[in-house]
Amino acid sequence: MAMTSSLMRRIPAQPAGVADDTPRHLGWLMLTALGIGATIGAGIFVMPGRIAEKAGPAGILSFVITGLVFLFVGICYERFSRVVPQGVSAYSYVYHSIGEIIAWIVAFGLFLEYSFGASAVAIGWSAYLQKALKYTLPPYLMGPVHTGDHFEFGFNIVAMAVVAVVTMILIFGGVSKSAKLNFFLVCLKCTLLVVFIGAGLKHINFALWQPFAPLGLTGILQGAAIAVFPYVGFDALYTFARESKSLRDTKLSTYLCIGLVAFLYVVVMAIAVGLAPVFLNNGQINPLFKGSEASAPLASLLIASGEGWAGTLIAAGAVLGIFNVLLVLCMGGPRIFRNMAEDGLLPPIFKKTHKGNPSFGILLNGTIVALCAGFVPFEDVSDIMVLGTLVAFICVCLGAMRLKIVSPLVGILGAVGCTILAFNLNPLVLKVYALTCPLGLLIYFFYGRRNSKLARPQ
């Protein structure tokens, strides 16, 4: 009984007046930019190819479904930011509402989200850089290749290099400079998407939308599960909630981020599947949506449609646009490590900061991200991080219901929606998570449980 009580112990919410040296320097505009910066990027420039492969033109509905699920999740996050104003993301919210062991599992899922997500973004960035500069490298320097039962070893040297650059920027540049750089890059990305929409509308052929859902509801749900990847940056917004100027700024940025991102994803996906057939006459997936080209589909689709200038511009601009997704994702994970260290669940070194950024966490995170980006294929990386995200979101919805800070209907729709999406992922991903999660729990039982602040006498 005592064992169970210790595993489910919860942190109390600190009153708003409690001293906190975290700088409150982010208004709604910067917060919205950070949320958009982590979502509109790799997801919109890289993932349409993978979603179209699963759902066909009905990938449009996949984005709509995921957007609706995330709206309910977003309501839960926003309500938690009022109850736990000094918390960071799903980890803090679940620690306060459900218990320590579940919070650790959520933190592990968020670790998968940020590390594997940043790795997938780095791989996508390397593909767009190659498209923009038209350079060639020996195959073994462009990353491993995984097709069916065939696997070719390699390491993506460009992806590893960009992760190293981002890590150095975060360690030596600080929070303020990183946020301003992010804002500039968000403006650039929105301009690129306007270019894609304008150039693509001239060539869209609605006849290519038929058959609309070749794989039926199963394909749409599988596409919706993959579409979680573009939306995961939303959680990154709440790793900065502790640095928000006010609760109003946090609330406004939440709904602006979800609304703008959902709208842009649906419009871009609708145009993309109208520029080329998703499946060829022989039933095979169009190379523009599959294989190496799928890491840079928007540029490839425009070039194939005769808009070479726009495709080249998209590829060149996406190099900078996707860069800032990597920047935000590499900022988010170490902030969760910092909060865990403050709670005693990780060693104190993780809470030491330099210019507002937790430097050791950023360095460790950058090392892990670089190794994954260099040696793991893109499709495997992106699926694994999606599952970690969904686990965190399910727990946030359940925690919000337990505290009665949202309507039961909102919590149920969010949790059930995320559960359905999770079970439409590649079954291999579920197996990988089932094996790796217990390994993460070993750290908790050997270190976190004994050193937790809640385990010490007051």
CB 379 within 8 A of CB 50: yes
pTM: 0.78
Domain edges within the chain: 22-455
In whole angstroms, give the CA distance from residue 203 to residue 314: 16
Q: Which of 208, 204, 223 is nearest to 63 (CA)?
A: 223
Q: What is the pLDDT of residue 458?
A: 47
The mean pLDDT values, 10 residues at a time, for the chain of 458 residues are 68 57 68 72 68 86 90 89 76 88 85 76 79 76 65 79 87 67 74 82 85 87 81 72 77 83 86 83 73 60 79 74 74 81 88 78 88 73 71 91 92 93 80 78 87 74
Place of tokens 């260099």: 374
Place of tokens 């104003």: 85
* Chain centre to alpha carbon of residue 291: 22
Q: What is the pLDDT of residue 72?
A: 93
| Number of other CB atoms surrounding residue 209 within 10 Å | 18
CATH of domain 22-455: 1.20.1740.10
* Chain centre to alpha carbon of residue 116: 9
In whole angstroms, give the CA distance from residue 357 to residue 330: 11
Q: What is the pLDDT of residue 396?
A: 92
CB 200 within 8 A of CB 275: yes
End-to-end CA distance of the chain: 22
Contact residues for 217 (Cβ-Cβ < 8 A; gap 6+)? none
**Amino acid identity at 77:** Y
Place of tokens 């449009």: 60
Q: What is the pLDDT of residue 294?
A: 46
